[in-house]
Amino acid sequence: MKVTKRTFLGLAGASAIALSAAPAVAQGWEPTRPIDFVIMAGPGGGADQIARFIQSVVEKNDMAPRPLVPNNKGGGSGAEALIWLNNASDPDHTILVTLNSFFSTPIRQPDLGIDIMTFTPIAMMGVDPFALWVHKDSGIESFEQWVETVKGANGDYVTGGTGTGQEDSIVFAYTNNAFDMNSKYIPFDGGGAVAAALAGQQIQATVNNPAEARGFFQSGDVRPLLVFSDEEMPAYPGIPTMKSKGHDFSYYNQRAVVGAPGMSDEAAAYYQDLFKKVYESPEWQGYLESESLSPLWMNPEEQKAYWELQMDVHKQLLAEIGN
Amino acid sequence: MRRGEIITAGVLALLSIYLMVDSTKLGVGYVAGKGPAGGFWPFWLSVGMLISTGFIALNWYRRTSPPSQSDEPVLDAYGRKMLLLVGGGIIVFVGLIDIISMYGAIAVFLLYYLRFLGRHGWVLTLSMALVLPVAMFFFFEGLMRINMPKGMSFTAPVYDVLYDIIY
Amino acid sequence: MEILSLLGDGMLIAIQPLNILLILVGVTVGLFIGAMPGLGSVNGVAILLPITFLVPPGSAIIFLAAIYYGAMYGGAISSITLGIPGASTAVATTFDGRPLALKGKARLALVAAAVASFIGGSVANIFFTLFAPLLATVALNFGPPEIFALMLLAFATFVGLGGDDIPKTVLSICFGLVVAAIGFDQISGAPRLVLFGMNGFLGGINFLVLAIGVYGIGEMLWTLDTTRGEVTSSKADISAKGIITDTGETFRLGWKGMSIGSVLGFFVGILPAAGATPGSLMSYGVTKMLSKNPKEFGQGHVSGVTAPEAANNSASTGAMLPMLTLGIPGSPTTAILLGGMVIWGLTPGPRLFIEQSDFVWGLIGSFYVSNFFALVVNLAFIPLFIWMLRMPFTVLAPLIFVLSIVGGYAAMADMFDVWLIVLFGIGAFFLRKFDYPVAPAVLAIVLGPIAEPTLRQSLLLSSGDPTIFFTRPIAGPITFVAIILILLPALKYLRPAKARPAE
């Protein structure tokens, strides 16, 4: 890592630049080689789709002089990607698309030696809410009825989601604790597989993101019972929130872009500006709406504060569910 | 060969024991109501490996497998030289990637292999050692958008020029 | 027949001049990408993406289908000429394709692969056209127990694949399965077998790392050693007439493999968690099992090339089905297409066939056209690949080493995996010297990552009760057949074993 006097001076100025006008930055640092666009998940998942969508927006509008090159590093619930960034040989050309394993994996794997506060905040592109889904043939119409069914099954009720310790299992574990229930949890290797398992009635309930469940929701095969957002979602009118059931719990998957630790301030400012343009593009705004993501733009300081908050939240959640 | 056969079996037995020990970290049993624990699959398959090495040793003792009957050396003089020059060449090639970049390492490896192992003329050697890495650069970086390692920072000026050509 | 008119429209779009040009370019580029070890149709998207903004979306889809088909044909080329399976779907093609090439019949092997791919692709397209939505419902009924039973069946068809040394074969299988378990345990969410505390193992070991190491480096070193470096290069001649005769030979000798592969490949391919690789492996195994001369397989039997090649094309087409109708990408390539569809504003799912029928049928129509052009382009390039094989071995060998290392990095993007390739290569060289069969390990590392999670998911479902594999209506019969197939050769082996101690 090169720490020069200029870096220290830049440190003070960078945040100001990022906040002020965009054109001022365009004169400064620009990438000189392809940008390693690391994805914290395998091909085909939600994070991967978003990365490829962003890549195509940048490409289409010719926003950067060098291409973003997607690089899937999904191994170990994202541990592979975090290590990759930590050891990046060229931090100015290495950025990462994250999900919540950005918080949970370093907590669950302390030996990795990852401190996410050393990463460089770039952009919060939106947050993806969760919803509780059941198959239409289950006959379950309301959340209360669902709770009753799960309790009546005495631990034989089968739920499913992504890998143990990841987002889906956290949401289920919280729900089970909150309503004093007990159910089985079958981990699958991606949101798509989870959605299909529910549609084929291999499992009885999931907490997929709206984008993952949309195909089967539109065809009427699955139905939402509850959403884990702060307010009711426009896409599912009349479906209650967890908060309205007396538990102060909302859970979103973050769709954020972060830079490698040790990225120069000039480069960070460049990417912050680039992703602001992506965020404001009509394509991204359309994507947020069609995939039911909630917009949640943050500047770099707010992002760091958000990370700290999320680290605390996840520490507490993971401790509560005993993981 | 005969000695090599039992040494190989021994090394594989040690490897399977190591894998067995490492698998125990996640539990190797059958959890009631939940099925096998995380280490179940690798542990019992490593046990399978260990048992197999036992049978290999038995066949070695009874001299029923071809390598255990053979008195030929595992590697004769030619084989040792080949392994050293070719296998060693590959190891040096991969080691160079992080220093002089993927394309630089390819050029050096081709130069070494074609000229010194293949005994080809300088014309063929140099044209392949220079054309192939450049062609690969344009194929991978330009067309396929795959980043190859660029080695240490002293290669940067070269790649900055090359990237300016592509984009 | 509404379907036929929709399909006709799709094909009409595909044969417009601009689109024909895109297909020819796409198929050619795809062929070479597929022929590079380590690269596959996944990488085609890199080329696709900029193009999608230059041409209308309809043409972009056609271009994508062309790259997809080209790459599927190309996979066999590196299996046959270099002996390295460039993609997991082409593993089985090396079993007989490589021996054919070494016997000087590289042209026959390449023609057989191309023709079989065309037949497999065509059969799949017809199934796809006629039964797509119906099959999607069937695929949903395959849960974890059914997929595990299928994996068991896939293993069963391969009993006897290895050499004559039973303990060494078993060791090879077990090793492959253990290596497949390295990385992260999806079920418990804990890191597993992070050997020697090296973080590089966290991401697991991809099939390609083992396959490139074993075939690209290990086999090459072994060849150099056993032939004293005096490899006689392939004598196969290059002539248009020869290609026609070989096409005839392909049908005469390989029709059985082709038919089995086309049908079996498709049905395994449409299952969400399975995909094209088990499809091609099972087709090879079943063809060998039903053959009158199973001993000829592995020595260079034409059906040993046509079965996996027909199957992987058929299955790759079939794998589009769960992607389009269920939104589940069965393979990284379909995952890319899925991403592309999102970019084009389309939602994969049960309603896609109804709401976006233009897109769906345009895509299927371009499959037919691309498949045909892929055959033509592939046959046209066969002389070039044969010419490559006729290079002096001292030129071909370093090229194969370079392609192995570059391809390994291109696929994994991590130097750690490149070092593993070298390690596996040198290890495989020594094991090969002591008659350890390596194919079973490669097979195991392909099937293991599907078999283990489905086994454990099933047992979680049944609360640890293994009878779930026998009592479910679909899983039951499959498991039963698999167990019989595994036991048959074991019984055969036990009999002569009693007679043997006398010797």
Q: What is the rounded average pLDDT of the residues C284-311? A: 89
Q: How deeply is A296 buried, as exposed, middle or buried, from its count of CB atoms within 10 A (0-12, 13-18, 19+)?
A: middle
Distance linking the first and last C-alpha atoms of chain C: 70
How many helices (H) and strands (E) chain A has is answered by: 12, 10
pLDDT (0 to 100) of residue B141: 85
Cα–Cα distance for residue pair C18/C15, rounded to 1 Å? 8
C56: confidence class by pLDDT, cuts 50, 70, 90: confident
pLDDT (0 to 100) of residue C404: 92
Determine, for residues A77 and C184 on separate chains, whether the beta-carbon distance falls below 8 Å: yes
pLDDT (0 to 100) of residue A14: 40
Question: Of the candidates B19, B36, B75, which has its C-beta nearest C459's C-beta?
Answer: B36
Q: How deeply is A237 buried, as exposed, middle or buried, from its count of CB atoms within 10 A (0-12, 13-18, 19+)?
A: exposed
Whether residue C20 has pLDDT greater than 50: yes
Q: Nearest Cα to C83, choosing from C220, C176, C274?
A: C220
C238: confidence class by pLDDT, cuts 50, 70, 90: low
Both tokens of C152, joined, read 């068991």
Whether residue A321 has pLDDT greater than 80: no
Q: What is the rounded average pLDDT of the residues B51-79? A: 87
Report the amino acid identity of residue C293.
N
| A14 lies in the same domain as A105 | yes
Look at chain C and count its residues: 503
C41: confidence class by pLDDT, cuts 50, 70, 90: confident
A82: confidence class by pLDDT, cuts 50, 70, 90: very high
pLDDT (0 to 100) of residue C490: 67
Complex ipTM, two decimals?
Answer: 0.94
Whether residue C35 has pLDDT greater than 80: yes
Whether residue B47 has pLDDT greater than 90: yes
Lowest mean pLDDT among A256-265, C40-49, C145-154, C318-327: C40-49
pLDDT (0 to 100) of residue A22: 41
- What CATH number does residue A57 fall under? 3.40.190.150
Domain count within chain C = 1
Determine, for residues B78 and C228 on separate chains, whether the beta-carbon distance falls below 8 Å: yes
Share of chain B above pLDDT 70, in %: 100
Share of chain C above pLDDT 90, in %: 27
Question: In a mutagenesis test of the C interface, which of A188, A283, A285 is the best target, namely the one with the most C β-carbons within 10 Å?
Answer: A188
Determine, for residues C336 and A163 on separate chains, whether the beta-carbon distance falls below 8 Å: no
Q: DSSP 3-state helix, strand, coil percentages of chain A (rounded to 5)?
A: 45, 15, 35
pLDDT (0 to 100) of residue C496: 53
Determine, for residues B148 and C410 on separate chains, whether the beta-carbon distance falls below 8 Å: yes
Would you call B167 an interface residue with chain C, using a CB distance cutoff of 8 Å? no
A66: confidence class by pLDDT, cuts 50, 70, 90: confident
pLDDT (0 to 100) of residue C247: 86
Residues of C in contact with A104 (CB under 8 A): none
Please identify, among A245, A270, A287, the residue that sits at the C-terminal boundary of a domain.
Answer: A245
Q: What are the extents of the domains in chain B?
A: 2-69, 77-166
Domain count within chain A = 2
Share of chain C above pLDDT 70, in %: 90
Cβ density class B26-40: b for 16+ within 10 Å, e for less: bbbeeeeeebbbbbb
Determine, for residues B94 and C419 on separate chains, whether the beta-carbon distance falls below 8 Å: yes
| A111 lies in the same domain as A163 | no
| A259 lies in the same domain as A230 | no
Greatest mean pLDDT range, B79-93, C26-40, C311-325: B79-93
Chain B / chain C CB contacts < 8 angstroms: 181
Please identify, among A188, A221, A245, the residue that sits at the C-terminal boundary of a domain.
Answer: A245
C237: confidence class by pLDDT, cuts 50, 70, 90: low
Greatest mean pLDDT range, C98-102, C343-347, C358-362: C98-102
Range of the domain at C19: 2-502
Radius of gyration over every alpha carbon of chain B, rounded to an integer in angstroms: 24
Average pLDDT over chain A, rounded to an integer: 85
C206: confidence class by pLDDT, cuts 50, 70, 90: confident
Range of the domain at A144: 131-245
Both tokens of C402, joined, read 């370079």
Residues of C in contact with A186 (CB under 8 A): 144, 457, 460-461
pTM: 0.88
Question: Of the candidates C422, C429, C460, which has its C-beta nearest B34's C-beta?
Answer: C460
Residue C16: C-alpha distances to residues A57, C22, C64, C503 (Å): 28, 10, 16, 72
Greatest mean pLDDT range, B39-43, C362-366, C419-423: C419-423
pLDDT (0 to 100) of residue B160: 82
Whether residue B89 has pLDDT greater than 90: yes
pLDDT (0 to 100) of residue C497: 47
Residues of B in contact with A165 (CB under 8 A): none
Q: How deeply is A219 buried, as exposed, middle or buried, from its count of CB atoms within 10 A (0-12, 13-18, 19+)?
A: middle
Whether residue A161 has pLDDT greater than 50: yes
Report the amino acid identity of residue A120.
T
Please identify, among A245, A279, A294, the residue that sits at the C-terminal boundary of a domain.
Answer: A245
Question: Of the candidates B32, B59, B110, which has its C-beta nearest C402's C-beta?
Answer: B110
Helix, coil or strand: residue A73: coil
Average pLDDT over chain C, rounded to an integer: 84
pLDDT (0 to 100) of residue A227: 94
- What CATH number does residue A194 fall under? 3.40.190.10
Lowest mean pLDDT among A134-138, C216-220, C350-354: C350-354
